[in-house]
Amino acid sequence: MLVRGESGTGKSTLTLELIRRGWMLIGDDCVVVNTHHHHLIVKPAPNLAGLIEVRAVGIVRVPFRQTGRLVLVADLVGQQPERYPQPQKATYNSLYVPLVRLHARGTDLCEKLETAFCHALALAISGN
Q: What is the CATH number of the domain that holds 90?
A: 3.40.50.300
Sheet of 2-5: strand order equals 2-5, 73-77, 95-103, 88-92
DSSP string, 26-69: --SS-EEEEEETTEEEEEE-GGGTTEEEETTTEEEE--B-S-EE
* pTM for this model (two decimals): 0.90
Number of domains in the chain: 1
Q: What is the pLDDT of residues 49-102, one digit of tens each?
A: 999 998 889 999 999 999 999 999 999 998 887 888 888 999 999 999 999 999
Enclosing domain of residue 8: 2-126
